[in-house]
Structure 1
C-alpha cells in the first residue's frame, strides 16, 4: 500500500470528526462559564461582552436608548450603538437575541455551530471540486461493484475528512469561536459564496457575497475575482457579469438600507464610516500601529511636535489602503482565471489583505485559514519546505507576542522593539505566502 493511502486509511470518517468537534466545542463553552466565574483573567473574549451588551441595548429601548432611523418608531427597538466600541452590523446583535431570554452563552453555541457548518462546506467543496473522486486516467472504475466506492473514491473521502479535520480541530479556530468571536459567522457566508461560485450558480454567489460584504466589508475584494472567473471564456463585460454585480450590490444596499431605516446614522457611522478614518494606535501585528502611535493627536496640543503635514500623511488611510487593495485586487485578477481557481485566488487575496491591513489581530488570521484546507492539495511543497513555512508562520507570531506581553502586562516601554518585530512578522509571512504561490500547481484542476 502506498504511504499516502496508508495515512488516509487511518483517518476517521467525517462523521466521527464532526461529532468530536461538536463535543470539544460544547465542553469548552461549558468550561468557559466555570473559568470566568473563578478567574480574574477571563476565557471569554471582550468582544463577546460587547456583542451581548449591544443585544441588551437593542432589545431594551428607553428614553436614552432608541433606534434613530426614519422608521424606528414602527419597530420599538433600541440602539445597539449605545454600547461603545460596537462597530458591527445591527443584525449581529439581533442574531444574539436569545442571549437575553434563553442563555448568556447562546452566541458562543451559535458561533460553534457556524464552525461545524464551515467544516461541512469545506468537506463538500473538497469532494466536489478539489479532490475529484474518479480522475480521467482511472480506467478500471467500471470493475468495481455498483454502489461500492472505488479505491480512488475512498482515498478522496479520507483526504477530504483529513483536510476538513485540519480546520475543525485547529486550536486557533475552535478557541476563537468558543471564546465568543463572531468570525465563524462571516466564514460561513464566505464559504457559501465560494461553494455557489464554484458550482457556477452565480445568482446565489452574488447574494451570498452581498451578505458577506454587509457583515464585514473586506469580502468586497472577491467580487472582481468572481467577474474574472465567470468571464474566462467570454467578455469581461457581459450580461452575466452585469447581473452578478447588480444582484451583489443590490443585496448589500438592501440590507444596509433596512438597517439605516431602523437605526439611522449611527449604523452608517459605526459600521462603515468609522473604518475609513480609524486611528488605532494600540499595538497589533501591523507595523502601521507604530506610525499611528507616534502621530496620534495628543490631548495636550502643546506636546504634539510632529509637523502637521507629515502627521496627516502618516495618518492617512491611503498609506495602507493603496498597496493593500492594489495587491489584493491584482492577485485576484491574476489567479482567478476560472471558478475552480477561486479558492487559491481568494486565499492569496485575503492573506495579502490581512498582511497589509493597518490593524491586524489574531482573529484576522481566520479570514484566510478557513480557505487553507481547500488549497493544500494543489500546493506542491516538499516536506522540509512545508515545515519551514509552518515554523516561520508560528515563530514570527511568537516573537511578536513575547514583546507584546512586556508592553501589555508588564507596562514596559518596548514600542520600538515591538515595531521591529512587526516588520519581521510582515517579512516572514510574506515569505510564506510567496512560497505557497510559487508551488501552486495551476494545472492540477
Structure 2
C-alpha cells in the first residue's frame, strides 16, 4: 500500500538508498555545476560565480605577491615576505582564508570552489555519523501524527553501529543495534542538507560558508561526546573564522556545569544570597574555567598571530568593522530602513534626536540578539542531548534579529535541522503551515525588494513592513519547532 501511496518518493529513496550513493551523487552535482560555472562566466554578462569569490581570489593574489605598497603591516610583517590581503577592498575575513585558497593562483582558479564543495561533502559525512551513532538510537519513536517513510525504508532490522546516551548526564555508553530503517532515515536527513539547492548553489558559486559549517559541525560532534578540550579548540577556531559561533560557548559551559552539579549534588541553601552564591559556584568550576580558557586562548592566539603579521588592518576589517557597520541597503532585517533614514551619507536638516541616534546605533540590534542568543543557550540546554535544539534556537535568534540578514544567513541555522528532525513530533498540517510561513514571508519581502532594486519604485516603507512580517513569521516558526521538540527516550 505504501508503494502506491508514495510512488515518487520511492524513486528518491532508491537514488539515495545509501550514504555512499548520496555522497557520490552530491559530489557529481557539485563538480558539474563548477564546470558549468566556468563556461557560463565566459559566455554571459550575468556571472554564476559569487562576487565574494572574486574578492577571495584577489586577496590571495595580494597576499602571495607583495609589493612596495602591498606589505603585511604587523610588527612582524617585515620578517615575512608576504603581502596584505586587506589591500583588496571589501575583504573582511581572516587571512587564513586567503592562504587556504593559495592554489587558486598556482593550480586552478576554481580550486576554492572544489574546496568549498568538498567541505559540503565532509559535513554530510559528519551529519550521518552523528545521526547513526548518537541521535537516531535515542530519538523518540514516531507517532501516528508524524509523516511515515515509504516502504523502501521498511526493511528487516539489521545491526549497525550506534551509541546510546543512557543516563541523565547524557554520557555515551555501549553500542546498540540500529535498524536498516534508521540507517535509511539517517541518509534521508543528510540528503536534506546535501541536496538543498541553496547549499549547493552557495558552495559552487564560491562562498566560503561551507568551511565554517564544517568547523561548527566538528565542534558539535566533539561536544556531544564530551570531548570538551577538543570542543573548546574548535569553538575558538570557529569564532576566529567568523565571530557568531561564540554564542555556542554559553550552552557548552551550561552543560559542563550541569554535569558537574549532578556528579556532586548538594542541598539547596536557604536565603537569596546563599542561593546566588551556589548558582555562581555551579558555573565557576575547574572544568568550566578550563573550557573557557582553552576556547578563548585558541581565539586570542590565532588573533594575535594574525595581528603580529598583518597588523591593525586585520583587527579592523575582520572584527571592528562589524561593530559600527551601518548597512542601509535593503535586506530582510527591518533595521535597514531605520538606519537608512538616519544614515550619515544623507544630509540632515536638523541634529539627530536621541531616539534617532539610538536607532542608528549598532548596539541596538546587537544587544537584543546577544541577549536572546545567549539566554536561549542557557534556558534550553540542560544536557548534551539538548545541544542540537539549543544551537538551532541560538543561531536562528541571532539571524532573525541581526541588523543585516540575507538568504545566505539562513544556512547558519538550517545546518542543524537534519539533526533536529528526529526529535520533532509534528503533524503534517503543522509542518505545512510552518513551511508555508517560512517561505511565504521571504517571498513577500522579495516581491517588494524586486520593485525597489530593479524597478526603482520608492516603496521603502512597504518593504520595511514586509521585514517586520518576516521577523514575526520566522519567530513564530521558531517557536513552533521548539514546541514540537521531544527529548529522546530509550527504546523498550
Q: TM-score, normalised by structure 2?
A: 0.84
Does 2:20 correspond to 1:15? yes
Which range moved further: 348-357 or 41-50? 41-50
Cα distance, 1:153 vs. partner? 2.0
Does 2:244 correspond to 1:218? yes
Deviations 1:375-411 (A, max 9, x none): 0011111011111111111111111111111222222
Match of 2:469 among 400, 417, 424: 424
Match of 1:402 among 410, 431, 447: 447
**Structure 1 residues 45 and 305 mapped into 2: Cα distance closer, same or farther (>3 Å)?**
farther
Cα distance, 1:306 vs. partner? 5.5
4+ runs of 1 displaced by more than 4 Å? 1-11, 133-136, 143-152
Matched residue SS, 1:289: helix
Match of 1:67 among 64, 72, 97: 72
- In the other structure, the counterpart of 1:140 is none
Does 2:385 correspond to 1:340? yes
CA distance, structure 2, for counterparts of residue 64 and residue 95 of structure 1: 23
- In the other structure, the counterpart of 1:237 is 284
Does 2:217 correspond to 1:170? no
- In the other structure, the counterpart of 1:139 is none
Cα distance, 1:236 vs. partner? 2.2
Does 2:294 correspond to 1:289? no
Q: TM-score, normalised by structure 1?
A: 0.93
Kindly report which structure 2 residues correspond to 1:293-304, keeping only aligned pairs within 5 A, or say none: 293-298=340-345, 301=347, 303-304=348-349
- In the other structure, the counterpart of 1:53 is 58
Residues paired across the two proteins, number: 437
**Structure 1 residues 146 and 159 mapped into 2: Cα distance closer, same or farther (>3 Å)?**
closer
- In the other structure, the counterpart of 1:260 is 307
Matched residue SS, 1:76: coil
Matched residue SS, 1:132: helix
Supply the RMSD in Å over aligned alpha carbons. Answer: 2.5
CA distance, structure 2, for counterparts of residue 119 and residue 228 of structure 1: 28
Kindly report which structure 2 residues correspond to 1:119-198, keeping only aligned pairs within 5 A, or say none: 119-132=124-137, 152-198=178-224
Does 2:228 correspond to 1:228? no
8 Å Cα contact 1:210/1:250 also seen in 2? yes
Cα distance, 1:77 vs. partner? 0.8
Kindly report which structure 2 residues correspond to 1:246-395, keeping only aligned pairs within 5 A, or say none: 246-298=293-345, 301=347, 303-305=348-350, 307-395=352-440
Structure 1 runs not aligned, ≥5 long: 137-142
**Structure 1 residues 145 and 128 mapped into 2: Cα distance closer, same or farther (>3 Å)?**
closer
